Chain A
């Protein structure tokens, strides 16, 4: 699956897509494939304040729980309600219908330290090599 060039990516495999004053956050295709079948998603409430690098929710597959970390200081403006009944959207469309939350960024410049699409692809290719070494 392609990693949109205009998204920004964290080393913990979250993506951020900034459109106007709002940023949408999700987990990457690599993340969903590492997790396997997603069965449960726990998200913060609208209005919750997120701190950079702090956990704001959980994604659970059959076999494990994974925390999701905030890529930047922000305030939650919307959550993806569809995931409550269709957590598998994270597997089938992680960069689209499987989005997690929308936020208002405290400081958009914070994202400049994150990877763009090609950089993230290089990053996971490197991880793949480590794992099979």
Chain B
């Protein structure tokens, strides 16, 4: 049998919670140069962690994510102009306290990285970026904002970032903060006291397809561990458990959220990835816009589809996709058993002619062609909270 987790050879980067993860007996892996927990056998492992988030609540250490702040230089407006130039969504539409999904693009319209843009103040933005692309992203942001009147700060190592995710996340976090969490809408944020720490960023965001929050606290070990332990304590009555990158991946896959180097990369463009609604072509200019304008009229060569395995077998990243005539037509970008649906699911790039829901395709699993079907995505969508029923007196 192969060893799944290769032993640590090179110097990996560690989050302030690294020692705590190891104390909890987490299985650690190298994720983009970071020594991160993939699952916690003491929590019951990946499957249990996934189910905790869907059914109640779980907590993730996501401190490996990078944070770039872009704020006013000499005169107001420079930061907004810079953010508008380097990201495809329209940051001018953000209210203070609001965030959105966006991406930074190459001139070809392909992805440098995807990013959550937070508007902290009128001319002050926080961009949360991926761990594996941190250095590249920061360098790219500095280069592409050099002619703008703004200040670019790399705050990546300043914070410990925790994601508290699941339908009970609000109840857990509410015990630890004076901020009124019920007033924070999805993809909005506020600042409040968390565990006695003033002015903490509290965002109703996540990467699980579930309700939840991401909080930013000072990145020293003592504070980080104290907050983590307080979250665990506050969540005890709801059965909160620590969750690793394994569950984070299956959760985001079910919700069809893109993962860099899988669904998006520097060779995949925005239209192919199906992220049109986050790309505002009505903006006068941003890096990648011209190429995208050309690409949209040229028509798509491939598009991202959801697959459900019909026959027994699990599609994995990189597996080849064939049409029913046996022609190779595409490739799987992510694939896994879905703990929520109890089916084997995958995302794959195929030509649009094979992308209709219901189309049968085959995925090559170790030289065998296993039947799969194109299904609508996301694979999982959380139920909208229904408003309390009005008790009519009329």
Q: A residues touching B (Cβ–Cβ < 8 Å)?
A: 12-14, 27, 31, 33-37, 39-40, 42, 58-69, 127, 130-133
Rounded to whole angstroms, the CA-CA distance of A13 and B5 in the bound complex is 13
Contacts of B45 in A (CB 8 A): 36-37
Q: Could you show 7 A-B contacts with beta carbons less than 8 Å apart?
A: A34-B3, A34-B4, A42-B366, A62-B46, A66-B1, A130-B8, A131-B5
The one of A40, A59, A127 in contact with B1, judged by C-beta atoms closer than 8 angstroms, is A59
A6 to B39, CA, bound (A): 32
Q: Contact between B1 and A63 (Cβ–Cβ < 8 Å)?
A: no
Query: Chain A contacts of B8 at CB under 8 A?
Result: 130-131, 133
Name B residues whose Cβ lies closer than 8 Å to a Cβ of A.
Answer: 1-5, 7-8, 22, 27-28, 38-39, 41, 45-47, 246, 249-250, 312-314, 316, 336-337, 339, 366
| Chain A: CB-nearest residue to B336 | A62
Instruction: State how many angstroms separate the Cβ of B342 from the closest Cβ of chain A.
Output: 10
Separation of A39 and B250 alpha carbons in the complex (Å): 14
Q: Are B41 and A58 in contact (CB under 8 A)?
A: no
Closest CB of chain A to B3's CB: distance in Å? Answer: 6
* Nearest 7 Cβ contacts at the A-B interface: A130-B7, A37-B47, A13-B1, A66-B2, A131-B7, A31-B1, A39-B337
Q: Which residues of B contact A68 (CB under 8 A)?
A: 1
Chain A residue numbers with a CB within 8 Å of B313 are: 40
Q: How far is the CA of A69 from the CA of B249 in the complex (A)?
A: 28
Tell me the minimal C-beta distance from A9 to chain B in angstroms: 11
Residues of B within 8 A of A130 (CB): 7-8
Q: Which residue of A lies closest to B312 (CB)?
A: A40
Question: Which chain A positions have C-beta within 8 A of B2?
Answer: 12, 66-67
Residue from A35, A59, A65, A131 within 8 A of B28 (CB atoms): A131
Interface centre among B28, B246, B249 (most CB of A within 10 A): B246
| CB of B41, distance to nearest CB on chain A (Å) | 7
- Contact present for A39 and B314 (CB under 8 Å): yes
Chain A residues near B47: list those with CB within 8 A. 36-37, 62
Complex Cα–Cα for A104 and B250 (A): 40
**Given A36-B46, A127-B7, A130-B7: A60 and B314 interface contact (C-beta under 8 Å):** yes
Complex: chain A residue closest to B366, CB-CB = A58
A31 to B3, CA, bound (A): 8
CB-based contact B1/A14 at 8 Å: yes
Docked-complex contact A67 and B1, CB < 8 angstroms: yes
